[in-house]
Amino acid sequence: MAATDATPKDLTHQILYALSEAEPLLSAEAFPQAAFTDLKAALDRLGSREMVKYDTIDREEAILEAEGETIAANGSHEARVFEALRQAVEGLTVQELENTIGDKNVTKVGQSKAFKEKWISRTKDGKFKTARDSIEDVTKEQVQTIRQTRTHPDPKVIADLKKRKLIKTQKVISFKIHKGPKFALEIAKEETDLTADMIASGAWKTAAFKPYNFKALGADQNAGALHPLNKVRSEFRQIFFEMGFEEMPTSQFVESGFWNFDTLFVPQQHPARDLQDTFYISDPKAADKPRPTGPDDTRDYEEVWDNVRQVHENGKFGSIGYRYPWSPEESLRLVLRTHTTAVSAAMLHKLAAQRGKDGRVPPARYFSIDRVFRNESVDATHLAEFHQVEGVIADYGLTLGGLMEFMEIFFGKMGLTDLQFKPAYNPYTEPSMEIFAFHKGLNKLVEIGNSGMFRPEFLESVGLPKDLRVYGWGLSLERPTMIKYGISNIRELLGHKVDLNFIERNPAVRLDKD
């Protein structure tokens, strides 16, 4: 039943009128012309008012291709060949047959099929003739059925015709529509709000109220958000914890040159230790001794001090040393730490305190994410302070290949893949590698970290056993944050002026779930 004779203005009314005459209603039959989205919108409108209920029906529909249409109208190629020959009593040559049919391709395909079906044969002089009195054009019947019903009772027929490219199939969604509990021919006017006037006049008693849509999204609240650096920091912390790391205590920004530089074999004349690169504390200028690594650190750090001095001056633990007079005063000068590797060094010294009677220390994994300070001139990509993400793994039998694999897993957890490693130099690790990752947005390789295996003269100086191997790596927290949030000026991220409009200008920061 097509509901086209009804008078209603729009689809919602058409549906209501059609339903009042027949139920259930199949949308494909009742509204064959209606666009799917219009129909769905009209049904949802009525559905939300409980005026109708509907089920969705998915089905495959078969449609004739151009060649299928030709066959439905004129018969299959083989039937056309048969028919042409049936009318020519003397038989036809190929050319005559082609002239009669008027299509070279139909003739060619048709005669070959008709031969296979044994509908035609050759005369002695090579002409074509019919080999029987009548035939049944099954293909024509099949495509005609499909043209009418958009399907065929025999699925094999559909598969076969599809293979012959006479038909194609497509998925169609239609609806089976029923009356709902509040079915009516008209959509009642619905109030959205209960007003003071309605209460005063008593109109609320008879008014129909629009039901609440509890699924509607609320208005966008321009509320606060975590700082982007904090978000990326918690992502990193999560990854570290997941991988069995323990967080290092990093609240102490001031270090002695000893832990920041000397234990890590940065020579005392190294330009990194210049005033231009490092912030020195003016009051107090120096520590009276290198700090122990914590209240539970009962080891004698004088021994570390001595080891480090010897490695610098004359060499020790297999190292030939820098061979220069090492200054204890320089080592005690207080600095704002230039890297959190100062903390790793002190933590590894503390780990050595856990050395058992058998000489072994337990394997350990430490990380920290905290502030470091460098006396840089500030520009779009450099600040005098930034955050470092630092990790160390101490274990037995570690190899450089293992470090590379670890990096793949670690950075892979942040979505950075296809890492590349470039040999690098750090005075405290050998070998050392810079780590690069391909950044899809920037379409280039970007440096994401520095890493290496701690040198034996460092490990032995802090009292760790000879056969222990320690991986270390570090990266800035700012770089991945800038990449993630598309921020090109680091000052926006960690400037000296706090700009609260930053979040508004960077909706990605706000919309990202905290």
Ligand X SMILES: N[C@@H](Cc1ccccc1)C(=O)O
Shortest distance (Å) from residue 302 CB to ligand X: 25
Contact 429, 454 (CB under 8 A): yes
Q: Does the protein bind ligand X through residue 426 (CB under 6 A)?
A: yes
When the beta carbons of 225 and 404 are compared against ligand X, the nearer one is 404
Nearer to ligand X, 450 or 506 (CB): 450
Sign for the pseudo-dihedral over CA of 13, 15, 17, 20: negative
DSSP assignment letter at 384: S
Which one, 24 or 431, has the nearer CB to ligand X? 431
193 three-class SS:
coil
Q: How far apart are CA 399 and CA 386, in angstroms?
A: 31
Q: How far is the CB of 473 from ligand X (least distance, A)?
A: 5
Total chain residues near ligand X (CB under 6 A):
11
**Long-range contacts for 316-321 (Cβ within 8 Å, ≥24 apart)?**
316/457, 316/460, 316/461, 317/456, 317/457, 317/460, 317/461, 318/456, 318/457, 319/455, 319/456, 319/457
Residues 374-413 that bind ligand X (CB under 6 A): 390
Does residue 378 contact residue 279 with C-beta atoms inside 8 Å?
Answer: no
> Of the ranges 130-138, 224-232, 301-309, 448-456, which one interacts with ligand X (CB under 6 A)?
448-456
For ligand X, the binding residue among 451, 461, 481, 506 (CB under 6 A) is: 451
* Residue whose CB is less far from ligand X, 361 or 389: 389
Q: Of 80 and 455, which CB lies nearer to ligand X in the complex structure?
A: 455
Least CB distance to ligand X at residue 429 (A)? 5
∠ CA 293-265-347, rounded to 5°: 20
Query: Nearest to residue 44, comparing CAs of 187, 170, 171?
Result: 187
Query: How many other C-beta atoms are found inside a 10 Å radius of the C-beta of residue 4?
Result: 11
450 is a contact residue toward ligand X (CB under 6 A): yes
Which of 111/429 has CB closer to ligand X? 429
CB of 492 to ligand X, least distance (A): 23
- Provide the 10 A C-beta neighbour count for residue 353: 18
Largest CA distance in the chain: 124
Residue 472 binds ligand X, judged by CB under 6 A: yes
Our CB check for ligand X shows the closer of 305 and 473 to be 473
Quick check: 256 and 334 in contact, CB under 8 A? yes
The least CB distance from residue 512 to ligand X, in Å, is: 28
Residue 452 or 480: the one with the smaller Cβ distance to ligand X is 452
CA distance 371 to 250: 8
Q: For 220, which DSSP code?
A: P
| Binding residue for ligand X, selected from 255, 343, 473, 506, defined by CB under 6 A | 473
Q: How far is the CB of 470 from ligand X (least distance, A)?
A: 9
Q: Which of 452, 456, 463, 480 binds ligand X (CB under 6 A)?
A: 452
The nearer residue to ligand X, 312 or 339, going by C-beta atoms, is 339
The residue among 70, 66, 59, 85 whose CA lies nearest residue 139 is 70
Query: Distance between CA 343 and CA 346 in Å, rounded?
Result: 5
Q: Are 424 and 430 contacting, i.e. CB atoms less than 8 angstroms apart?
A: no
| Shortest Cβ 289–ligand X spacing (Å) | 24
Asked whether 133 and 145 are in contact (CB, 8 A), the reply is no
One residue of 68, 91, 290, 474 binding ligand X per CB under 6 A: 474
Is residue 246 within a helix (H) or strand (E), and if so which, with residue range? strand 246-247
Q: How far is the CB of 461 from ligand X (least distance, A)?
A: 15
Site for ligand X contains 76 (CB under 6 A): no
Stretch that binds ligand X, among 41-49, 124-132, 373-381, 450-458 (CB under 6 A): 450-458
- Which range touches ligand X (CB under 6 A), out of 159-167, 293-301, 467-475, 480-488? 467-475
Pull the structure tokens for residue 427: 């005075």
> Does residue 339 touch ligand X according to CB under 6 A?
yes
Q: Does 479 bind ligand X (CB under 6 A)?
A: no
Q: Is the Cβ of residue 131 or residue 400 nearer to ligand X in the bound state?
A: 400
Give the residue with the Cβ less far from ligand X, 27 or 461. 461
Q: Applying CB under 6 A, does 429 fall inside the site for ligand X?
A: yes
Residue that is written with structure tokens 């450099």 in the block? 382
CB of 390 vs ligand X, minimal distance in Å: 6
Residue 341, interface with ligand X (CB under 6 A)? yes
Please report, as ranges, the residues that interact with ligand X according to CB under 6 A: 339, 341, 390, 426, 429, 450-452, 472-474
